[in-house]
Every structure is written in C-alpha cells, then in structure tokens.
Amino acid sequence: MTQEAFGRKAGFSASHVSAVESGTRALTMSFVRGADRALETGGFYERLVTRFGAPSWFRPWLDAERAAIQLCCFHPNLIPGLLQTADYARAVLRLAPRLTDDEVDERVATRLERQGILTQGHPPQLVAVVNETAIRQAGEGCAKVMPEQLLHLHRCAERPNISVHVVPSSAGLHAGLSGPLLLARMADNSWAGHLENQLGGTGADRPEDLDTLLERWESIRNEALPSRQSLALIEEVANSWI
C-alpha cells in the first residue's frame, strides 16, 4: 500500500504519513486509530499501544514533547526523566511497589528512548530546574547511582541545547514546592503543559492554566542559581559521593 493510499483510508495526507514514518512528526493516537481503519485490524494497534505504550494520561504530553522547540521542566525532588541515567530511572521506578522487574525494565527502556529527542538533528532547547534536594537525596544502595547520575547531568548541561539550574536550599519557600511541572513551546509559539501527581498526571492546555504555569515557571526560574554556579554545585555534590 502506498503512502497516498494508506493516508486516504486513514484520513491523513501522504506527506503526513511520510513525516510519521521518518520520525519528524509525532505518532498520535488519532494516527494509530487511522492505521486501524486503513488496515482493517479491528482496533488491534490501538489496543497494542494502550497495553504496551505509555499510560493514556501521558501520551498527550509525549506528543507535545516530540513536537516542541523548547522544553521547560521543574521537579522539586527528582532529576527530570529526560536527563536520568538508566540506573537512576530504575531506582525511581522501583519505588512503585506493584511494578514487576520486567515492567520496570520496560519503563526504563521507554524513558531512555524518549531522551533521543535531545540528540536528534534539530533538538529542542531544554531548560531543567531542580531543587537542591533532588541532587542530594538518595535511597539505600544509591552510593554508586547518585554520582553517576550527577556526572551525567553535568555532561548533559554542557550540550548547547541543554541548561540545568538548581534552586538552592537557602531559597526557602518558593512556588515550585507545590509540585513538578512541564511546559513545551511549539513552532507556532503555542504552549502545552503537564502536571504530575501520585496517580499519574494531567495535561494543561487552557489559556488561563498555561498563563498560571508560565508565571509559576518564571518564579521558580528566578530562584535558581545561574548555570555556572549550578554546575559547580552539582559537581561538588557528585564528588562528595565518590
């Protein structure tokens, strides 16, 4: 089946199909459902994605993340997923008691695959902000995991499209203590947001909600150390683990 014939049955242009196949356009659930229609699978691909892909609440953010030209992320207690090592991601995911070892391994692999957007031909600009807690906090058996994670974070921040900032403990109370937030700016300058919680996460696309998140982001960013000072602190903490 040609791209044009497939697209006609799926409800997409041939150029859209080509862009998805080449990885320059995000694979969305609407495209997956279109593939089911075009190939008359009875919904097989949608069931497959639902079972083995990202959780349904996270898929809209993944679409935004892949299409973004700029990403802004803040987490008060953890290194952001796009900058995690495999061992650190595994340690974090194992905190969920119901996940089996195989499920943890699958999620680690998915997380590492997501990081490919940062090294692609035209990567987004990533600005990551974490509390000092995130670079100092570790669990039992993390004596090796944390220094490797912090050195990896330092190396990532040396790339031209990535900057990492730390909110020092001395900042005290600030807007970010309410929880993590993610923001993505698209090529048309529109924004998408995502918030995580104990049960999963939720997207934010209403203009008033995005305005609030952008205000919170700017407030958090203003509390953070400049890049050079942040990297010096990260290096200092990494050395303390060695």
**CATH for 232:** 3.30.870
pLDDT score recorded for residue 21:
86
pLDDT score recorded for residue 146:
93
Last residue of a domain, one of 37, 52, 67: 52
Torsion of Cα atoms, 130 then 131 then 137 then 138, to 10°: -10
Q: How confident is the model at residue 98 (pLDDT cuts 50, 70, 90)?
A: confident
Domain carrying residue 38:
1-52
Say yes or no: 122 and 229 in one domain: yes
Say yes or no: 149 and 37 in one domain: no
pLDDT score recorded for residue 52:
56
Say yes or no: 148 and 67 in one domain: yes
Could you tell me the pTM of the whole model?
Answer: 0.75
CA angle 85, 89, 94 (to 5 degrees): 150
Say yes or no: 40 and 70 in one domain: no
Residue 122 CB contacts under 8 Å (≥ 6 apart), including other chains? none
- Report the mean per-residue pLDDT for the chain: 89
pLDDT score recorded for residue 3:
93
Domain count, the chain: 2
pLDDT score recorded for residue 217:
97
pLDDT score recorded for residue 161:
97
Residues, the chain: 242
Measure the CA–CA gap between 13 and 196, rounded to whole angstroms: 34
Say yes or no: 223 and 175 in one domain: yes
Of 138 and 88, the structure prediction assigns the larger pLDDT to: 88
Measure the CA–CA gap between 184 and 192, rounded to whole angstroms: 5
Measure the CA–CA gap between 15 and 17, rounded to whole angstroms: 5
- Region 8-28: mean pLDDT is 84
Edge-to-edge strands, sheet with 200-204: 162-167, 125-131, 70-75, 181-185, 191-197, 200-204
Q: How confident is the model at residue 109 (pLDDT cuts 50, 70, 90)?
A: confident
- Region 116-120: mean pLDDT is 92
Closest CA to 150 of 93, 67, 232: 232
pLDDT score recorded for residue 139:
66
197 phi and psi angles, rounded to 5 deg:
-145, -175
pLDDT score recorded for residue 26:
63
pLDDT score recorded for residue 76:
94
Of 127 and 19, the structure prediction assigns the larger pLDDT to: 127
Say yes or no: 143 and 200 in one domain: yes
- Region 132-149: mean pLDDT is 85
pLDDT score recorded for residue 22:
82
The pLDDT tens digits of the residues spanning 182-218 come to 999 999 999 999 998 777 788 888 999 999 999 999 9
Of 47 and 84, the structure prediction assigns the larger pLDDT to: 84
The pLDDT tens digits of the residues spanning 26-54 come to 667 788 889 999 999 998 887 776 555 56
Q: How many percent of the chain have pLDDT more than 70?
A: 93
Say yes or no: 21 and 70 in one domain: no
Say yes or no: 130 and 236 in one domain: yes
